[in-house]
Amino acid sequence: MTTTDRAAAPRTTYGSLWRTVPRELGFLVLTFPIALAGFLTSLTLFSTGVGTVAVFLIGIVLIIAALFVSRAFGTLELIRLEWAGRPHIQRPPWADAAREPGFWRVFWALLSNAHLWLYLVHTMVINFAVSLVTWTITVIWVTTGLAGVTAWFWRLIDFGGDPAVVIRTFFGDDVLGRALDDLLSFVIGATLLATLPFVTRGLVLLHDVIARVTLGAFPSEALRAQVGDLEASRGAAISAEGHSLRRLERDIHDGPQQRLVRLQMDLAAADRQLDTDPARARALIAEAVQQSKDALEELRALSRGFAPPILLDRGLVAALESAAVRSTVPVAIESELPDGLELPQEIERNAYFVASEALTNAAKHSGATSVTARVAVRRVLDTDDTWLDVTVTDNGGGGAVPVEGHGLAGLDERLRGLGGTLELDSPVGGPTVVTAHLPLATSYPGSASPAPSGAASGADAG
């Protein structure tokens, strides 16, 4: 996976303004024809609906149609703004109305949706008026600028390209006055064209501000969505923790606990036979010693599912290399982490758990002959989001699916509890790619340093 580094915010220079002029001009030139189409369509539907509102169903249906047409034109405005280089504007949660049970509740939810009415006002009034002004300014600015700087050229073309003929025929006796007029026209035209980037940027910004106010989601909705995500993450964390505890309880019951019970029974039997049958007692003690060793090994194996000592001492990559050595399938560990990077302990522990679980699943169920685990830090451009990506790829038969309460589904719950996500790509025939995305705080140590690609450790284990 290629790492994406968050570049420092570029300085706005005159040259950078010119680079966006073609897209901004395209936006502004098309804005009035599109706004006019939206104005006529929405006004016709809405006015007809209001005029026929006495015929209840027909009038209401036409009004709702006007709302949906306005929504389409508003969404088109948002798409065009992004195409012109403006940042993404969060869309309203349109799916909320569709979740209402019953036809009439959906009907009322549509009519009472404030966003639909704002889109209607934007399409039928605001955008039409603003687009007329911005389109007029753009056309006049560009045409006047081009006419000013090319006036002398068109004179040459009209008179066969001979400057002497132009002077005698067109200027007449007032050669100096006409030359000054052409020079003034050229200066005015050049000034208009030189300031064009500022004009197009300002006009597009005007459309962007209006769209954010009338077409974007309300701040309260973003907060409500964030609260919902936090509640879902907390529920997933609780569920994942519950599954982990039940799994630990089952593993302890089936493994070390049974061996310790057997150890207790062997020691008790050896104590009873110590005087009467010393040889038998020594054999039972030897079995008890072996049971204690096996129980210790099983406890160590269980502890690796939480935080093996190598993870705490040497970090994530070293712990994964250790897991690769223990795997029954050859595993290659590739690291794209910057040197000296210190990951948050909780993120590191969960990344190790997810990777080791994916490696175990690949070894047990995929039929793979080789597995690759890759770790990388990814920074998203234009945001403060920094993610740790852990990808496990095997060349097995594919067809893996998450089953509720087991395996991959448990990993997904664990990651959602941390605010992360799990991606699974496992077509029949393979390969299977499991990718865990874990969020990192932007202030973690080493986050300011770029993550070089290709710094692979290349630890292969057979």
Residues 210 and 351 in one domain: no
Res. 140 pLDDT band, cuts 50 70 90: very high
Q: What is the pTM of this model?
A: 0.51
Residues 17, 18, 19, 20, CA torsion sign: positive
DSSP annotation of 102 reads S
Q: Is residue 307 part of a domain?
A: no
pLDDT of the residue at 439: 84
The crossing angle, in degrees rounded to 10, of helices 21-51 and 56-83 is: 170
Q: Is residue 235 part of a domain?
A: no
Q: Does position 447 have pLDDT exceeding 50, yes or no?
A: no
283-330 confidence digits (pLDDT tens): 878 887 877 777 777 676 666 555 667 777 788 888 888 888 877 788
Residues 6+ apart with CB under 8 A from 258: none
Do the beta carbons of residue 457 and residue 374 sit within 8 Å? Answer: no
How many distinct helices (H) and strands (E) make up the chain?
17, 6
Q: Does position 457 have pLDDT exceeding 70, yes or no?
A: no
Least confident of 97-111, 148-162, 418-432: 97-111
Q: 253 or 199: whose pLDDT is higher?
A: 199
Query: SS3 breakdown of the chain: % helix, strand, coil, rounded to 5?
Result: 65, 10, 25
Residues 204 and 323 in one domain: no
Residues 195 and 52 in one domain: yes
CA 306 to chain centre: 29
Res. 8 pLDDT band, cuts 50 70 90: very low
Count the domains in the chain: 2
Q: Is residue 426 part of a domain?
A: yes
Q: Which CA distances in Å does 157 have to 87, 148, 150, 186, 352? A: 45, 15, 11, 17, 75
Question: Rounded CA gap, 265 and 66, in Å?
Answer: 82
Residues 209 and 331 in one domain: no
Do the beta carbons of residue 137 and residue 198 sit within 8 Å? Answer: no
238-264 confidence digits (pLDDT tens): 555 556 666 666 666 656 766 677 777
Q: Is residue 264 part of a domain?
A: no
Q: Which CA distances in Å does 63 have to 35, 38, 121, 134, 257? A: 19, 14, 13, 29, 71
Residues 201 and 344 in one domain: no
Residues 322 and 181 in one domain: no
Q: Is residue 234 part of a domain?
A: no
Residues in a beta bridge with 433: 393, 425
Res. 450 pLDDT band, cuts 50 70 90: very low
Amino acid, res. 14: Y
100-118 mean pLDDT: 71
Three-class SS state of 394: strand
Three-class SS state of 174: coil
362-375 mean pLDDT: 80
Q: Is residue 173 part of a domain?
A: yes
Least confident of 102-111, 211-220, 360-369: 102-111
pLDDT of the residue at 205: 94
6-21 per-residue burial string, b: 16 or more CB within 10 A, e: under 16: beeeeeeeeeeeeebe
Q: Of 179, 214, 249, at which residue does a domain stop?
A: 214
Tell me which residue has tokens 């600028």. 145
Q: Cis (ω within 30 of 0) for the bond into 431?
A: yes
432-441 confidence digits (pLDDT tens): 888 888 887 6
57-86 confidence digits (pLDDT tens): 788 888 888 989 999 999 999 999 999 989
Q: Of 190, 214, 238, at which residue does a domain stop?
A: 214
Question: CB neighbours (10 Å) of residue 431?
Answer: 19
- Could you tell me which of 436, 439, 413 has the C-alpha nearest to residue 237? 413
Q: Is residue 341 part of a domain?
A: yes
**Which range of residues forms the domain containing residue 387?**
315-461
- Angle value at C-alpha 178, between 177 and 182, nearest 5 degrees: 120
Q: Is residue 267 part of a domain?
A: no
251-278 mean pLDDT: 74
169-179 mean pLDDT: 57
Q: 418 or 17: whose pLDDT is higher?
A: 17
pLDDT of the residue at 14: 80
Q: Of 214, 229, 261, at which residue does a domain stop?
A: 214
